[in-house]
Structures are given as C-alpha cells and as structure tokens.
Structure 1
C-alpha cells in the first residue's frame, strides 16, 4: 500500500461498495441491516431494496425459504410486510391492502398487539438503524373458522377463547363460514389435491355448477349430500346413463363423493350465515381497502379444508382486481402464504385449480397489482413457474443436500456454504436492484409473540 494509511470502512463506504447509497437506490424499502466488525468498531448498515422490484411495477413477488424453526421465515416475512405497511402509510401515491394466512398455532393472531418483551436493543435497531417504528401492525381484522362447539367461542382455533371473545367484542374479529349457495361455483377447490387425468371429477363439478338434474335449486349442504347420494346408487337412472352419450357414470359419481364427503363434514361448511359471521369472498369483494390487514386463521383445519379456504380467498382477490365495480380497490393486494409446498409443489396434480390460480398470480399478478409473499422449507420442491416469477428471493438456514440441488447452481459457492450456517434472524437476499447477494439481519418482531406458537 506504499505506506498509505488503512482504516475500516464506515457506513457510507459500505453503502457505496454495495450500491446502497441514497442516490443509487430508487424507491427504497428497508429489508434489514448489515452487521459489520466486532467490539468497539461494530457498525450497523441499513439495507434497502428498490420496492418497484418487490411489489411492482418493475418486478414482483418474493419467495422465502429455509429450515423450519431455524430460518425464522414467518418472522422475516412479517418484518418486511410491516415495513411495506409503514411505507404506504407515510408516502402518498399508491394504496395497499394485505391478506395473511395463519397456518401455525396462533402465530399471527395478535399482530396488532405490541411485543412487551421486545428488547431495548431491538427497539434501537428499529428506530436508529432502520428508521422504522417499533410498533405492531395497524388496522387488522381477524377471521376464525366456524365451529359448533360453544366452549371454544364457536371457532376452530389454537387461540385462547378469551382472546377471541375480546377481539370479537372489539369489532376486530369475525367468524367465517361457507354456505352451499355461495360456494357452489367453488366446488372444484375441494378437489385440488386429487389427480383427475380423465376429467371425470371436473365433469361432476360442472354438472353441479350448471344445476343440472337433481341439483337444480339446491341451497344447503345437507340437500346437496342427499342428491349426491342418489347419483351413486347402482339402480339410479338419474345420472348413470350410457357413457357413449357423454353422461357421467355411477362410478364417477362415487369417486366424486368419496373425494369431497369428508371435507364438507367440517363445521365451517354451514347452513347459513348469521350476525357476527361472514363469507370471506364477500369480505374481500366489499371490504378489502387501503391499509387494511386481513388475517385468516386456518391452522386447525384439515388439509383439504385449508386448501379450499386458501383457494377461495386467492380467487376472490383475483376477481376483485380483475373487474370489480368499486372505485376504492387498493392498487396493491399483498397475499402472504406460508407452506407454499401444499399448493404449488412439483407433486401437486397438474390439473389442480389452486395451482392454476397461483400460476396466474405469479405470471400476471405484477400487472394486476397482486403480490405474492410465499414461504416454504425447501425452495427446490416448488413449481418452477411460481419461484421463477419471483423477482426477490430470501434464503434462510438450510442444509447441504438442499443447496446441492439445481436451484442453487447460480449462487456462488461461498454463499451456498453460508446458507448452511445462518442463524435465526439472518438471511441472504437476492434482488435485481442489488449488485450482489447480501447477507442481512433483522430485529425481532414488534408484535405479540407466543413462545409455543
């Protein structure tokens, strides 16, 4: 160095080196911070993304992956989403609404309540390093699936009945239910996990949706079940006519009944909607507005019913953005889905209506203003067209087997090795506006935490 003086980089030097300086990053959105050096020389550097490559219009969607527990995937997603809510609240221009699914315990069922155990060190990071508030989400409404059990406040949830009652009394929680009359055109979603290569199940669904035969005028699930049973009888001449005339055979009706009977036994498929209860499709169509956060609890539902709820909501959001008459539709609707592998893995049947919906959102969502925040344990298991359309990727702690998969072949070896050693609260971020991958950290969430989920 020709006897020149050498010193550690300061915050501005680091920002310039990584292309993070204020004049280089347009439309900045906080995604975490860099921890540099140790001891007295330690510094924290705020890391920002160009939000136009995360929530449009230049790019859209983020995929977050990592081992369960060790990667803190939900925590990081919520940190980013809270930063987005603050950005839209403080900056004039576009509007945004949020729809979250709670899939684990009661993780997200108190995100508008403060984390009273948040360490002062994390509060300082929020305020001083990231220039964010250390406050929970605002304008949140919770939705719980209906149950006949009065001991649990008539909901199926891991949340405490007393907490649910308090939320309902405060007007920030509702019970959701699906009636046959409002769900007749969504029956295909109950078959999302069924392989229907011959199209027999689809034929049954279309027959019912078109109110053909005995299904004309059916308004209740119980009546639907009775009519469906008629079509499964060998002696029935209602639905079992000659196959060469294109009619649906008894064997097909029996298969259809087997596939959906168990699902519609769940209490959430009810007779009617009464005071304090809502239909999720109507809630989205009529009440999803700027700044609002909808949290839908599906954690205690069986897998088929979870799929139905997710598919119904995704379809309602798509329909809202595609052609609703309202004038106050948010410019962006951000959809957070955990356990993406249930709906868009390589093993999901290719004819799955939920997979088709997710592919539509991944491929057309940017232009429509539907932004997907997706989370799963193993990125390599996800459908190529879903993860391929995500402009931003967040890699949490994973294992050596996973990083050896083709998905990681373009990631430098040093970062692959790093991924197997990341700690909770640490991520590697890839975004088109960043010059290289960046290893970031983020503070603990500012909303109420449940130690055991």
Structure 2
C-alpha cells in the first residue's frame, strides 16, 4: 500500500527538468532517505503517467533568517517564543517512465511511495522472456530485472562490481547473478556455462554444502541475521521475493551439481567432503601459448623486457618445430646452455639453426631469462608439470553446461594464477569462435585490477578483446575489484551493468563514478546486501538489495 508523501514544486531556486525535480515532504510520518523510491502521478496532455523516481538529496529549511531565534533571552536551553515552520523537500531523479515523454511533470503533481502495483515500471520495456533478475528495489522487495541482451547478448554485455573488500559483498552478488542467469537459461531453454574463479579462501569452494531444501535455509535465517547484524525480516522478505521471482525454479538446485576444478594439495578440496564432481588441473609447456608463458613470467607492474620477450618468442617458435613438444625442464636446460654463449658446449639435441637464431641476443639476456624461468618454476610447484609436455589443462568441453563451474586459484602463486586465468580465457574464447553450437559463457573474475590495470599487463590484451568483442561470440565477463579506478578504462567503459557496493569517499570521487550522480555520497554508507546499480535501460542509477547466498545461511547452522 502506498502513502502520499507530497507534491512537485517549481520555483526559481527549485527548477524542474525532464531528468530531475523537487517535491515537498508533507507527510510527517514519512522519513525521506537518499536512495529511496517515490512515484510521481504526472499527467501529460490529459493522459496519466507514472514516473518512478529515486531520492537524490533531502533539504530541510525554516522560515527564519537567523539561528538566533532558537535562543530565548540568550539562554540556549530556552525554547524559542515561536516555533519556526520546518520546510522539508527532496530532490528526485527520474528512473523510469510509463510513457515515452521527455518533459518534467507539472507543479502540484502528487508524489507517493512505491507499491507492488508499480513493479512493472522497472521492467516495462523488458519482454518476459528476456528478464534476468538483478536485485530488489530497496525497501520494497519489488524485483528489478535486466534485459538478457544487455547482459549476455550482442546489444551489450559484461558486468562490473566494485566496493570494499568484505563489505561490498562482491562475490555474493556475482553468485546471485549466476543463479539468476542459470534460472533464466532453464526457463527459456538456453545453454549457458557459468565459470567462477575462486580467489579468496573457501568463498566458492563450499557451494555444495548448501542445504538442498529451501525450507531449511529459510528457517536458519534468524541465526545468520543475528551474526550478520541485519534484520531477519528483511532477509526473509528478500528470500521470499527471490523464490517468487524465479517462479518454479529453486535456487538451491544449482548448488547440487557444482563442478570444481582444483589442484592437488588444495586445502579446500571438496573431495575431502566426499564430493566427487572434482577435476584436478595442471599445465605443461605444450599446454600454453607463448603469450601465456610471458604473462606468467612478468608482473603487470614490471618494465617491459623486450629483449627477453623477443628471445622467448624465437625459442618457442623454433624449438617447438625442431624438438617436437617441449617441456619446462628442456626449456631450462636450453636456456642454461644458451647463456654460456659457447656453441661447442651446446647439446646435440639443439640444432645449430636454433642457436644461430638465439645468438642474436647477448648472453646476459639469456642468463637473465634463465634466472626468471627458474624462479617461476620454483614458485609454481602446484600446477606446473616440469618433466613432460602436457598436464591436464582445463578444457572448454569439460565445463558443464547450465551449471556453476568453480575454478580454484586461491593458494597458487601470482604467476600460477596469471597462467591459469590467461590459458582459461584463451581456451574459452577460441572454442566459442569456432563453435556452431548456441552456448553462452559467463566468466567471473575477481580482483580484475590484477589482470586489467591501467598500465601494461600481458593478460590485459585478451581481456580488452573480450570486453570489446566477446558479446559477438557469446562470452560475457563479470569483473570485480575493490577500486574501479584501478582498472583499464576501456574495459570498464564496455560494461553494461555497473554495480557499486560500499566504497570510500576518496574512491567514489573519482571521475569513473560520475554516472552515480548524487548517489556518490550514498555509496559510502551502503550496508551488506545493498548495491547501487546502473544499466542502459535505466535513466539513472538505483539502490537494490539482494539476499545472502543459500550456502552461507546453511553453514551457520
């Protein structure tokens, strides 16, 4: 049930535009909060039109010219002789309109709170078949949808989530998106592979521990809410709204058949819980490209070592042909010999042609390259197979369709992580480019700033390719990081769904957050489970809420 709040006002100091205007707050029981929703009952050419608005600013003033009126006989505790009239006003921004009319409402138009009858305003232009749930309107449990073509299709693609570590709930929201994408795929007979990289402890390695019954999760909300410091009624309302929005699809079902890809020795190995849908991956030198080797050897913040990189390209192209398949041990053996710069000490296995190619580089270059590869192998003992060409790399066909595939990279060195991420993205991209099947792939990459910083990064070129052209082959990137200002502007600019959790004031003041408008200040005070989102079908950013993941609630028991 909605409540009348006030009316639209228009004056010289409070002008109205098609995008934003001011309204009075006449209902004394209503507390106007920045980020809350209001509906304007406007009329254009005699035709009623609802405008969905979000409060951007609240202003209280009084009909007095000086604060001295509050001081009776110069004594602060004394009440003023006459109580000043408080004027409450709110500045609102239009988020959605019932009609395709770009003009401000008339002065005096009624303003009221949101109700369930206004739910269609947020999804009016999205056909039922294309609706993917992305959250619930703050304080109303009304579902907010995004058009599938803008998240997974050719119109646009990709999502980005930023905010403080531990407070912005970036991984939880990415998981919420994953469930809803899979629910959309099931309801519409689509094929989607969801791939999520686990970079923080056991964040995503415990999905299989979720209760299989929705009732058990719902009954455990009280314990979780007490621990999290969030109202249990709010959480229950969000869970009920989630279940209703997905209709006959149970979100818990997507945790029953999660597929894990991890490495031998992982302390979070689900197989320790007798969960069997686990694959162990590893990589030999023949499993990766030259670019992936370079990405593993060099940090993004390092100065580019062109001579070493050129030597690697020459070796990998020539030695592969002359020796057949290569291994890391053979690479080390050859580099050690090349660094001596003495042809008569070369192994008979290494043809003179290759040595002549590499002799163009100074032996100090080869020595430095030898030390770099040796250091990489010393820190890459968990997934690298040194003594044979091939390991057991993650293949596209091994990724389950219409299920969540979790890739464990936590516990690996930074170099190993770069190798896995680069090789995985290349494998997915190449298979999609050559595939005739109708399958979409969504890849969640946390700590995106490590792979796509503003500066040079060996992996960034591939991420740029995915960001700009991935949508044409059905590949969508969901990136997350603490600071969006740290990642490449082209990758962020190609994102159709921008999501911001609780962030520092110094961060949201960056130019990259300009799209937040007046909600920049609100971003510093978001709680867990609250996010500001913006996508092409909304006129302005809005605040949404989402429920905690089912497995998180289950694990509290």
Cα gap change, 1:103/1:4 in structure 2, threshold over 3 Å: closer, same or farther? closer
1:234 deviates by: 4.9
**1:261 equivalenced with 2:374 (yes/no):** yes
1:293 deviates by: 2.9
Matches within 5 A, 1:258-337: 258-265=371-378, 266-267=380-381, 268-271=383-386, 279-281=392-394, 283-284=395-396, 286-288=397-399, 290-324=401-435, 329-337=437-445
Which ranges in structure 1 are unaligned for 5 or more consecutive residues?
A: 37-42, 147-154
Cα gap change, 1:218/1:97 in structure 2, threshold over 3 Å: closer, same or farther? closer
- Structure 1: how far apart are the matches of 2:534 and 2:487? 18
Which of 284, 290, 293 matches 1:187?
A: 293
Cα gap change, 1:236/1:300 in structure 2, threshold over 3 Å: closer, same or farther? farther
**1:210 equivalenced with 2:313 (yes/no):** no
**1:158 equivalenced with 2:260 (yes/no):** no
- Structure 1: how far apart are the matches of 2:463 and 2:308? 21
Larger-Rg structure: 2
The secondary structure found in structure 2 opposite 1:300 is coil
Normalised TM-score (structure 2): 0.68
Aligned counterpart, 2:544: 440
- Structure 2: how far apart are the matches of 1:444 and 1:398? 19
The secondary structure found in structure 2 opposite 1:409 is helix
Cα gap change, 1:211/1:125 in structure 2, threshold over 3 Å: closer, same or farther? same
Residues 259 and 404 in structure 2, CA contact (< 8 A), matched pair in contact too: yes
Cα gap change, 1:211/1:90 in structure 2, threshold over 3 Å: closer, same or farther? same
Residues 327 and 388 in structure 2, CA contact (< 8 A), matched pair in contact too: no
Q: Deviations over 1:43-100 (max 9, x none)?
A: 42111111211111211000100010110000001101110011101212x3211211
Cα gap change, 1:257/1:192 in structure 2, threshold over 3 Å: closer, same or farther? same
Which of 242, 264, 273 matches 1:126?
A: 242
1:224 deviates by: 2.3
**1:107 equivalenced with 2:213 (yes/no):** no
Aligned counterpart, 1:251: 364
Aligned counterpart, 2:504: 399
1:24 deviates by: 7.0
**1:375 equivalenced with 2:480 (yes/no):** yes
Normalised TM-score (structure 1): 0.82
Which of 389, 395, 419 matches 2:523?
A: 419
- Structure 2: how far apart are the matches of 1:392 and 1:104? 23
The secondary structure found in structure 2 opposite 1:262 is helix
Aligned counterpart, 1:150: none
1:447 deviates by: 2.7
Cα gap change, 1:287/1:272 in structure 2, threshold over 3 Å: closer, same or farther? farther
- Structure 2: how far apart are the matches of 1:4 and 1:56? 39
Residues 45 and 129 in structure 1, CA contact (< 8 A), matched pair in contact too: no
- Structure 1: how far apart are the matches of 2:404 and 2:515? 36
- Structure 1: how far apart are the matches of 2:153 and 2:462? 19
Higher relative contact order (CA 8 A, sep 6+): 1
1:319 deviates by: 0.9
Aligned counterpart, 1:76: 173
Cα gap change, 1:248/1:72 in structure 2, threshold over 3 Å: closer, same or farther? same
Residues 159 and 478 in structure 2, CA contact (< 8 A), matched pair in contact too: yes
Moved more, 229-238 or 67-76: 229-238
- Structure 2: how far apart are the matches of 1:181 and 1:188? 14
- Structure 2: how far apart are the matches of 1:23 and 1:207? 53
The secondary structure found in structure 1 opposite 2:336 is helix
Aligned counterpart, 1:341: 449
Aligned counterpart, 1:151: none
- Structure 2: how far apart are the matches of 1:198 and 1:4? 66
- Structure 2: how far apart are the matches of 1:4 and 1:98? 46
1:318 deviates by: 1.1
Moved more, 48-57 or 362-371: 48-57
Residues 262 and 278 in structure 2, CA contact (< 8 A), matched pair in contact too: yes
Q: Deviations over 1:198-232 (max 9, x none)?
A: 62122122222223399724643223222221122
Residues 106 and 450 in structure 1, CA contact (< 8 A), matched pair in contact too: no
Aligned counterpart, 1:54: 151
- Structure 1: how far apart are the matches of 2:555 and 2:210? 15
1:4 deviates by: 11
Comparing both structures, which one devotes a greater share of its residues to strand? 2
1:290 deviates by: 2.8
Aligned counterpart, 1:221: 328
The secondary structure found in structure 2 opposite 1:104 is coil
1:426 deviates by: 0.5
The secondary structure found in structure 2 opposite 1:106 is coil
The secondary structure found in structure 2 opposite 1:301 is coil
Aligned counterpart, 2:136: 33
Residues 287 and 391 in structure 2, CA contact (< 8 A), matched pair in contact too: no
